[in-house]
Amino acid sequence: MGTWARDKSLAEALPEIRRGIGEGVFPARVFNDQEVFDLEQERLFSRAWCFLAHESEIPSNGDYVTRYIGNNNIIVVRDENGEIHANLNMCRHRGNLMCKSEMGNASHFRCSYHGWTYKNSGELIGVPYMKEGYNGALTRKDWRLVEVRVDTYAGLIFGCLSPDTEPLDQYLGEFKFYLDFYLKQGDSGSEVHGPPDHWIAETDWKICTENFTGDGYHTPVAHQWGFALGYFPSSGSTHSQGWAVSIPGKGHGIGLGHSPDFPAFGGFPDELVKQMRETFSPEQVSVFEKVRTGVGTVFPNLSFLMQPFSLVPGGPGVRFTTMRLYHPVAPGRMEMYSWCLVPKDASPEYKDLAYKAYTLAFGQAGTFEQDDFENWIKVTKSAKSTAVKDVDFPYIMGMESEFDPDFQGPGHAVVPYVNDTNFRNLWTRWGDYLGGDA
């Protein structure tokens, strides 16, 4: 019998599920369940800092993108003074969707229903028949677009629907140390190469989140074709080498894969390596220079992956970085957003090569992404089947893993890379939110 007995509601089972995570079990059913989805909407996505956009997606005043937090559509915009705002994409008058595009540039948003008009920052400035209709009873400043808390870190724009959640800086905590590797490549940092790939899949967002919190374990099998064609600088026999680092109490985690004889900062152009050696702290350099594959997640649903990849097997690897957001739309169903990040200061040739490596490996047609999603839709389907209702999965790998005393980064760092430690930390934090303790 599993930690979520089949006759129990989620509310009844949650204490037992949370206890099980610490002991290394987690119920299959969690990955495709209506009650779980509903409680996540109410207690997790309504309270956590959720990723909205990268600043380089809205570089000029008036630029906007529309994104989601949970089931809330949000306009993320740079106002006429260059300040970033996030507002619910809903007219305050009768609730119509204000902005129907995914991206664009606008100084104002005008509702297509009764014509209420807002500055791009969200203040209501135009109400038709203000005098004849409202006769002074309506005060514009009381009816601005519903504002969402917004804050940024190194180009990432996050939003939070709760006023009580800790500030973003604390929320990210020690994970910022690792985020810098993706976001501060070179003196001017990273930027998006373009708008994200965007697709819908019969997959639960949590499966993607878990995989990208450092699942080095799946790589030699799920992506075996890459080893078979001779793509990887690691071989199956040395693939377990590296670190799993989790941030206790936060849910964030990263897997740092290392290969024997891997050249320091391998796959980056020399000029960029020089800049990174100067701008990163000595501790960051000590950790980052050894990393072949860096795959990590900001709790709950924003992930990054970086590694060298060559367009043909055995070629010199070029380092690409992808950023991905898993937007849950129903139990076992999500929208995927996948971006390629490139260092702003890098040459156009490097950016182009890195982008080509990204599209060959990731994005909807990417040769690695393809196989991941094939597996994930099957996991999602299994999780819904009746016989699986009270079946647990094992999360005991690395229960006894030892802290690496030579590792210079923050958080709980263990070896080897192949490890469930990050996942236990991830699901523990998930349990905190669902149990109302976060």
Partner 1 sequence: MERALVDRDLLTEIEQFLYREALALDERRFQDWLAFFTDDVVYEVPVRVTREGNAEWELSPTSRIFDDTKETLTVRIQRLDTDFAWSEQPPSRTRHYVTNVLVDSTDVDNEYLVRSNCFIYRSRGDEPNPSMYSLARRDTLRRTGSGLQICRRWGAFDQAMINAHNLSIFI
What letter does residue 175 receive in the DSSP assignment?
Answer: G
Q: Is 114 one of the binding residues for partner 1 (CB under 8 A)?
A: no
* Smallest separation, CB 166 to partner 1 (Å): 33
Q: Shortest distance, CB of residue 133 to partner 1, whole angstroms?
A: 29
What stretches of 117-269 show up as alpha helix (H) in DSSP? 168-172, 176-183, 205-211, 219-222, 224-228
Residue among 244, 172, 239 nearest 210 (CA): 244
Q: Which stretch binds partner 1 (CB under 8 A): 45-53, 233-241, 357-365, 410-418?
A: 357-365
The string of DSSP letters for 78-101 reads: E-TTS-EEEEESS-TTT---S--S
Of 182 and 376, which has the nearer Cβ to partner 1?
376
296 to 335, contacts with partner 1 by CB under 8 A? 311-313, 335
Tell me: does residue 355 bind partner 1 (CB under 8 A): yes
Residues 261-290 that bind partner 1 (CB under 8 A): none
- Give φ, ψ of 379 to 5 degrees: -60, -45
Of positions 371, 390, 404, 432, contacts partner 1 by CB under 8 A = 371
Selected binder of partner 1 within 201, 256, 291, 305 (CB under 8 A): 201
List all residues 6 or more positions away from 387 whose beta carbon is below 8 Å from its beta carbon.
Answer: none
Q: Applying CB under 8 A, does 195 fall inside the site for partner 1?
A: yes
Q: Can you tell me the distance from the alpha carbon of 264 to that of 244, in angstroms, rounded to the nearest whole number? A: 19
Nearer Cβ to partner 1, position 133 or 313? 313
Return d(Cα 192, Cα 322) in angstroms, integer: 9
Paired tokens of 429: 């934090």
- Segment contacting partner 1 (CB under 8 A): 32-40, 117-125, 356-364, 407-415? 356-364
Given 113, 129, 134, 225, the residue binding partner 1 (CB under 8 A) = 225
For residue 274, give every residue at least 6 positions away whose Cβ sits within 8 Å of its Cβ, in sequence order, or none.
Answer: none
- Of 338 and 425, the one with the shorter C-beta distance to partner 1 is 338
The candidate with the shortest Cα–Cα distance to 417, out of 288, 296, 242, is 242
Q: Are 321 and 342 in contact (CB under 8 A)?
A: yes
Q: What angle do CA 277, 282, 285 make, to 5 degrees?
A: 50
Helix (H) or strand (E) holding 355: helix 348-361
- Closest CB to partner 1 among 4 and 339? 339
Query: Judged by CB under 8 A, how many residues of this single chain contact partner 1?
Result: 43
Pairing assessment for the beta strands 72-78 and 108-110 based on DSSP bridges: unpaired
Does 196 contact partner 1 by CB under 8 A?
A: yes
Residue 202 lies near partner 1 (rule: CB under 8 A) = yes
First to last CA, the chain: 28
Rounded alpha-carbon distances, angstroms, from residue 37 to 4, 40, 70, 136, 436: 15, 5, 10, 44, 15
Regarding 363 and contact with partner 1 (CB under 8 A), the answer is yes
Interaction residues for partner 1, span 375-394 (CB under 8 A)? 375-377
Among 40, 55, 204, 369, binds partner 1 (CB under 8 A): 369
Q: Does residue 243 bind partner 1 (CB under 8 A)? A: no
Residue 374 interacting with partner 1 (CB under 8 A): yes
User: What is the closest distance, in whole angstroms, from the C-beta atom of residue 309 to partner 1 in the complex?
Assistant: 11
The least CB distance from residue 307 to partner 1, in Å, is: 17
Are residues 1 and 390 in contact, defined by beta-carbon separation less than 8 angstroms?
yes
Inter-residue contact 405 to 430 (CB < 8 Å):
no
Q: Which stretch binds partner 1 (CB under 8 A): 119-127, 134-142, 159-167, 360-368?
A: 360-368
Under the binding rule (CB under 8 A), the answer on residue 199 touching partner 1 is: yes
Shortest Å, Cβ 174 to partner 1 = 33
The answer to whether 344 contacts partner 1 (rule: CB under 8 A) is no
Q: Contacts with partner 1 in 89-108 (CB under 8 A)?
A: 100-104
The dihedral formed by the CA atoms of 279, 281, 286 and 292, expressed in degrees to the nearest 10? -50
Residue type, 143: W
Q: 65 or 298, CB closer to partner 1? A: 65
In whole angstroms, the minimum distance from the beta carbon of 102 to partner 1 comes to 5
CB of 37 to partner 1, least distance (A): 18
Cα separation of 220 and 268, whole Å?
24
Tell me which residues touch partner 1 (CB under 8 A). 100-104, 193-203, 222-225, 228-229, 311-313, 335, 340, 355-356, 359-360, 363-365, 367, 369-371, 373-377
